[in-house]
Structure 1
Amino acid sequence: MDVNDPLSLLNFPDFKAMFRIDTSDVVINGNKLTANMTVNNYNIPYATKTSPEQVIGGVVGFQVKVVTALTDGQSCNMTMYNNLVFVQFVKRRQNDELNYVLKLTVPELDIEDKRFTSDDGIWHLINENKRQNYTFNVTVQLEVVPRVNSFASLHDDEELTDFELRGTDGSVHMHRAVLAAASPVLRRMLGGVWRETEEGCAEMPGTTRVTLQDLKNYLYLRTLPDTGVEELLLLSSCYMMPELEKRCVDKLVQNITPEKTLEMIEFAAKNKMTQLMLAVLDCVQSSIVRVADMRNHLQQPE
């Protein structure tokens, strides 16, 4: 093949293969991506190869790019392949105000838990090598960056609390400022001429005291409960708290099973929880949960 002859390139058996990174064994489990990537360099003076975009957690797109240039070795008549390996992380949702940190591990390139933030498309250089052909395994872990929280010291305070959230079986006392900072819905309620503003309390229909306490723990301490996450997710959606919603969805799909998959799909559809539905479908599409296993569960006698 004559690399200087465009027709020769077009007649190459797989012309597109020269300009792509082969990606296989892709598994996306909630906020974690693993994949194998193979780079094959051909006798081309200069080439840029990219991998298919993988969307992690439904919120961040991830790609790898390799730029390769050929040079002649100075001490011998050998062709040298100079490879520059880049990665890119880009938010996929419009008006996404959350911040994400991604931990990248690529053992074959001597990279372990290298941290990046999602941004507007910057390509980050992660490796330089002189190999002609090579394969590497990529692991990416996505995390939501909690907003700076200065309310932890007020979690156990009782003297300064000035607002009450009333559930079906009890109430939880909180600070107006904390509620207003957490939710634009609650801010409008607390700052307006609502009855709740004057009375210093708000009824939370269908919400138990345990769920209200879980909400308080998250707003003050940024912690999530081990159980009852679905109820907390409903509150986060109702009161427009996207960071809490994202963390609840992530927790629900961490240990998903065929039985839980069916329950979550029903729950998400009933309550119009779009992000949860998409996260569950991602698990099915990635074969983390197999349709055959879901079918077997449905066919079990009651």
Structure 2
Amino acid sequence: MSESSAYRVETTSRLAQWRIDNLASFTYRKSDPFRIGKWNWHLTVEKNRTLSIRLYPEISNLTRENPPIASFIIKVVSSVGDRKCLVHPEVTDKQLKSNEDFVWAIEVPLTGKFIIDVEFLDLKTASPDGTEPSSIWGQGFTQRQSNETAVAYLGRMLSESIHTDIIINASDGSISAHRAVLASRSPVFHSMFSHDLKEKEMSAINISDMSIEACQAFLNYIYGNIRNEEFLTHRLSLLQAADKYDISDLKEACHESLLEDIDTGNVLERLQNATLYQLPKLKTSCMRYLVKFGKIFDIRDDFNAFLQCADKELIAEVFDEVLGAWKGF
């Protein structure tokens, strides 16, 4: 065996084999990287009092951000004499990040040539939404890939105006869209196109309370290709549209996002929107920010202006919170 081939691991789609020749005592050897799934891998052998075998993915951004969760069978087959075979108990759903995550210490002495054989039964990655990890080979990966492709082409239908059949008239411009997509995402749009309303007859929807940019962001969300910065820029307009057209997932996305960056410059506006659109978590967070954390005293001028125009019931709730906080001292 040549020096270069001594470190080479032969692979098929799920199987890796490393042939070791004449491993001397007190020896460490690391394989060349080999590809299984989305990752490059290494095997190492270290012969001291025992023989230690390690399997781990090569360090990369992919490994750090989405380490493999591996199920595999690993065995050592001695090719000398009676062909001794040592099999490690099956490893199931083990996350591998470093060379310390899987170590197999073999007490039985091995001499001469042997083969390290790794059969990968499954490789999974963690799901970004926190649900169960999904296999890169199984139905989960296929379904995710199918969904991503479908969303990409759906977005293309909007951006390239492919077979559009309805016009959205915003306050300062118009955008072409598709009735079927709008109706599938909003019961309000579905009702418009199902009954003899002017929107059905004229093939147009007037959304005069949204700018063309905000309306584009709204449609981009519906079609699944909104960019994060676009979403952040138009959150309040999107919240209004989500409430008006009964798109609950968009309303909740806006709600969660508005919770993340409350400050003295926006807390009063968000408190009013929380009341208007019935967002209980946002309302509670704004109240706590103003009262418990004492920020109401940092924005006295803005708060005085707020008192002149805000809903009377909301003003009463704020003062109830203030009185309750004072009683606590």
Higher RCO, Cα 8 Å, sep 6+: 1
Higher percent of residues as helix: 2
| TM-score, normalization by structure 2 | 0.43
Higher percent of residues as strand: 1
| TM-score, normalization by structure 1 | 0.46
Higher alpha-carbon Rg: 2
